[in-house]
Amino acid sequence: MPEHLITQKRFFAFKMAVRMLNWFMITFPRHLSGRFTVGLLALLAALLVVPLAHAANKSKPKPDAPAPPEDTRILVTAVDLAQSQVTITHEVSKQKQTYTIDDLTTVTVSGHPGTVKDIKVGQQVSAYEERRADTLDSIEETRILRGMDSLPFVKMSGAGNDFVVVDNRTLGLALTKELIAHLCDRHFGIGADGLLAVEPSDQPTADFRMRYYNADGGEAEMCGNGARCFARYVHPLRRAEAERVRFLTPAGLITGEYVGDEVRINLTAPTETKLNQRADFGWGEIAYHFMNTGVPHAVVFVPDAEQVEIVAQGCAIRRSPIFPRGTNVNFVQVADASKLIVRTYERGVEDETLACGTGVVASALLAHLVHGLALPLCVKVRGGDVLTIDARRENDTFGDVTLTGPATEIFSGEIRL
């Protein structure tokens, strides 16, 4: 409303109020007296003046209310390194936007500059700069990835050696030692000898990276049966027609080959081979042999594997000061010229397992060196399956070491955390 009309309306309201007060204060009181007159006048004044003043002020223009501060916080809900994409969700509008990693040129992670490839679960990102000018230049108070409420998984078995397998190609899973031990717990979790995590490879020679954790949550360099299950699991993630897959492990590059229903993996050349060692582990002096096939293995040849007190004797050897890092322990019976029977006490599981891939490889190669058995050798494991080990002898070491056997999916599901 124009200012001059507002002023006129205010003046008219004031003039009418004065006239009414004059009438009630001079003319009307002649017929009334005392305190009743004063109270009535005050009441009438309030009834007349207040509404008129309110009506006048209602037309007065109000200053614009300050706009609420713009909330630019975002939540990164997906990081797909395989597709070079990152998806963010604005916390207020809930709108999602997907960018390629090349578009997000720099990022500040935990106070340090880096790239989007440095983003991992739980880290705080204070700002990022985008190459494109039509989007936000920086975003504050950014949180990366929601915490896990549940975890999809696949339970797999390699000749009775069982594993929980999870897809961590986005590197978004916070796999703590406590969480892994819980998942592997056979009473309160899924139950397994260990956990396998699929991660992206950072080298062009490999398709994936394999991370292996024992049932106690500690990470190990390698697991033979786990590697075969890993190869089976990632097969559909690559190409259905692919005959081979290559993946990185702390022990080196591993190749998996699909042979019908079985999986054959090649292992790195064994190291630290020691033959005909002798020691007393608590029940008299015995002969033992040692070989590292990605992880350390002590091998004891026995006449009857069934008679071995595997937990007591295996634990004594595993924790002997002879092996500062600890060791896996295999008790091996030579069944015939082409077949072994092996029972394994596994470090990290701290019990007998139904099979151990790197253990049967060490047992077979040492049987070749100590007893002259020809390769390939078939090994019957505690779970009843038979694994085949082959290698090419190269003077005092071996090349083209392979382990072949079943790798099957038992079931899949999602566990609430």
List the catalytic residues. 223, 356
Give the pair of three-digit tokens for residue 397: 């070491």
Any alpha helices (H) in 124-257, and if so which ranges?
Answer: 177-184, 224-238
Give the pair of three-digit tokens for residue 380: 């019957």
Give the pair of three-digit tokens for residue 60: 């007065």
Tell me 407's DSSP state. -
Question: Which residues lie closer than 8 Å to 64 by C-beta, 6 or more apart?
Answer: none
CB of 386 closer than 8 Å to CB of 191: no
**Alpha-carbon dihedral angle through residues 262, 255, 396, 322, given to the nearest 10 degrees:** -90
Amino acid symbol at 211: R
- Taking Cα atoms as reference points, which of 146, 132, 71, 127 lies closest to residue 99? 132
E strands, 182-243, in order: 194-200, 208-214, 219-220
Amino acid symbol at 72: T
CB of 224 closer than 8 Å to CB of 218: no
Q: Cα 173 from chain centroid?
A: 1
Amino acid symbol at 135: T
Q: Residue for token digits 């190669």?
A: 365
**Alpha-carbon dihedral angle through residues 33, 37, 39, 40, given to the nearest 10 degrees:** 150
Q: Residue for token digits 């070749």?
A: 368
Question: Which residues lie closer than 8 Å to 311 by C-beta, 6 or more apart?
Answer: 345, 351, 352
CA dist 177 and 348 (Å) reads: 12
**Alpha-carbon dihedral angle through residues 394, 397, 402, 405, given to the nearest 10 degrees:** 130
CA dist 82 and 70 (Å) reads: 33
Amino acid symbol at 369: L
CA dist 362 and 367 (Å) reads: 8
Is the Cα torsion angle 378, 380, 385, 387 positive or negative in sign?
A: negative
